[in-house]
Amino acid sequence: MEKVVYVLGAGFSAPLGLPVMSNFILKAKDIYFSNEEEYSHFKEVFDLLNNMSIIKNFFNTDLYNIEEILSILEMNEYINENGEFERFKKFIADVIEYTTPQYLQMQSIPSNWQEYILGQTSLSRLYGTFISNLSNLEVEEVSSTFDYSRNFIWNKTSANTEYSIISFNYDLVIENYFEYIKNSFTLESNTEDLLNISKLHGCVKKGNIVPPTWNKSSNRELLKEWQRAWNLLKNANQIRIIGYSLPITDSYIKYFLKSAMLESKHLKNLDVITLDNEQCETKSRYDDFVDFNYYRFKNGDILEYLRKLHHLQFKTVESRDKVYKFDVLEKHHSNFMRS
């Protein structure tokens, strides 16, 4: 069986409105001013940032970049133990939870139901198509009535490709989709068996968030996540990195990947799909890092990747079909990398 690992960066979730490191503070301020009473604890964070501005008298500092801010604060916590860490964990979790959209079912589902069971919005259908393919899902219409009331059963099916996820993100974009299926339809497979996901920086649901800072890989709570991700990488036949720019500050990820490759059994391809700037700085970082004959870099938008997958998935839909399988991801990925 082919083993494919998708490595997801912040660019994967950004089209849904979730913040990336560079705009995290701006998103947080939008949330705070939309409901100052509920998010009153955000003001303590903003006041602290104002106090931190004194640093700019001595050093070049970007106080709108959450990674730089939290790196300074965590260093201060590490030395002084001033109790700020839990406050910032809650701050991060609240921003992520607020900006993560929910999947909502359509009130009535038409006869060409295969697409519309993925949610009300076009974005939810794009992400739903991708996640359903990753999980090798199959859906069956088991009953319908004249008023568009329909019942569906979802199940994980056998396939020639096994997918796994390694995520740098705290959010629940993928997990919320599985909850949507379970709550809206009949799901015969166990949720935890649908897709192997390792979150290297923790998860808002588990409360084990590790801020993306200089100390990010030292948290013992996440050791099992790192070990599982390491095993996924070493056993992978294909690694696909999506929406991750390989920032200079993330040198630990380079060592993590190199460590996994020490015991790599049969890696065939390493593909990177992420947006690059005009100076091609992201591609240059990857080109300098990766020295593999079967490495490919694609300057691509995650939405473009999802739209083309969605188009391929549904271009031959027949409304009379009662069983529908999500199984076009390999064909799509190959076409996308060649385009």
Phi-psi region of 272 (alpha: psi -120 to 50; beta: other; left: phi over 0): beta
Alpha helices in 143-280 (DSSP H): 173-184, 223-235, 251-261
- By DSSP bridging, strand 161-167 and strand 186-187 are unpaired
Q: What mean pLDDT do residues 55-79 have?
A: 82
Reported as a single tens digit per residue, the pLDDT across 253-302 is: 999 999 999 999 899 999 999 999 888 899 999 999 999 999 999 999 99
The predicted pLDDT at position 81 comes to 72
Query: What percent of the chain clears pLDDT 70, i.e. is strictly above it?
Result: 95
Residue 119 near residue 108, CB atoms below 8 Å: no
Nearest residue to 187 via CA among 124, 142, 149, 148: 142
Reported as a single tens digit per residue, the pLDDT across 290-315 is: 999 999 999 999 999 999 999 999 99
Strand ordering across the sheet containing 269-274: 196-199, 161-167, 2-8, 238-242, 269-274, 295-299
The count of other CB atoms within 10 Å of the CB of residue 48 is: 14
Q: How far apart are alpha carbons 174 and 16 in whole angstroms? A: 12
Lowest mean pLDDT among 63-67, 212-216, 241-245: 212-216
- Would you tell me which CATH number, out of the four given (3.40.50, 3.30.160, 1.20.1740, 3.40.630), belongs to the domain 2-16+106-338? 3.40.50
The predicted pLDDT at position 335 comes to 97
The predicted pLDDT at position 316 comes to 78
Q: How far apart are alpha carbons 103 and 46 in whole angstroms? A: 31
Phi-psi region of 232 (alpha: psi -120 to 50; beta: other; left: phi over 0): alpha
Mean pLDDT of the residues in the chain:
90
The predicted pLDDT at position 148 comes to 60
The predicted pLDDT at position 146 comes to 61
First-last CA distance in the chain: 26
Reported as a single tens digit per residue, the pLDDT across 173-223 is: 999 999 999 999 999 988 889 999 999 988 998 878 876 665 555 567 788
The H or E element that residue 67 is part of is helix 66-80
The count of other CB atoms within 10 Å of the CB of residue 214 is: 17
* Residue 8: pLDDT band with limits 50, 70, 90: very high
Residue with tokens 């939810």: 124
Question: Which has more confidence, 200 or 107?
Answer: 200
SS3 assignment, position 1? coil
Residue with tokens 């020490």: 262
Q: Which sequence spans correspond to the domains of the chain?
A: 2-16+106-338, 21-99
Nearest residue to 12 via CA among 275, 222, 250, 339: 275
Lowest mean pLDDT among 42-56, 134-148, 190-204: 134-148
Reported as a single tens digit per residue, the pLDDT across 73-82 is: 777 777 877 7
The predicted pLDDT at position 331 comes to 97
